[in-house]
Amino acid sequence: MSQASISGFTFIRNGVELGFPFEASIRSLLPLVDEFVVVVGKSNDDTLARIHAIGSPKIRVIETIWNERMADRGFVYAQQKMIAQFACTGDWAFYLEGDEVVHEAELANIRASVDQHHHNPAVEALVFDYFHFYGTPDFVANSPAWYRRECRLIRNTIRSYAPDGQYWLITADHKKGRNPQAALANAHIYHYGWVRSNEAMQKKLDQVSKFWSHGAPTIRYSQFDAQVLQPFTGTHPELVKPWLESSAEKSFTIDPDYKLTKREKRHRWLMKLEKAFGLDFSRKHFKLVA
């Protein structure tokens, strides 16, 4: 019985200027996939050149120009994501965002999960646990506000689409979209978007907010609920360590005079309920079936 093939895919624009660890992200997945499709939007920096410089024969680049007038809740992200996915030829498609990295120690687990569920049509996607690093690489954010699990590997032989860059919907038999039926990948996604320098984070939000129909907020990592943060006790993927040294925030402190927002106060109550009753109120874009 032949082994299932896996395509990796992503999209990126101005990755250097906006502080994405996209080179580490792509490299981290290359040992697992048979091909890696990268959709590169026309950029103001050398993002495209850096992707070519990775030098892997598995990488296939598609160049695009973003619709700067598309300001409908991240739909331009959905467009770019689907351009990349539509070009994938594998049995499964692994989507990795430019600030997400997989750990070399977990590649075997991912491969085993694909092999385990490939011949079970009830499993349409694989779900990963998340480490959302915040402020510095030494802390992770963990509350109902931060999705704890998300689909990143989807069966590429079924009809699916992305409403925005984050998740998928399945449209079997041309019916209304529904969440994928999923199994656990038994691996993590290491999400580094919130540890890039505060300056780079502000620049990123200034550029992308127009695609989400709202103005760019002012970002200060110190303005945060300290109860959401937990020390990270694991190890970071080897490929991202140079980026962490050169581009991540090295230290930060929570403002002791910071006043919680109404949303943060609500999440504190939800966290208490989670702890007391073993619940999980974080958002889920999937249904576990295996």
**Tell me: the pLDDT tens digits for 229-243?**
999 999 999 999 999
pLDDT of residue 209: 74
In the prediction, which pLDDT does 214 show?
65
Q: What CATH number is attached to the domain comprising 228?
A: 3.90.550
Regions of the chain where pLDDT drops below 50: none
Domain that holds residue 76: 1-290
Tokens of 120: 């079970």
* pLDDT of the residue at 251: 82
Point out which residues pair with 188 in neighbouring strands: 129
pLDDT (0 to 100) of residue 216 = 67
What is the structure's pLDDT at 201? 85
Q: How many domains does the chain have?
A: 1
pTM: predicted TM-score of the whole model, two decimal places: 0.95
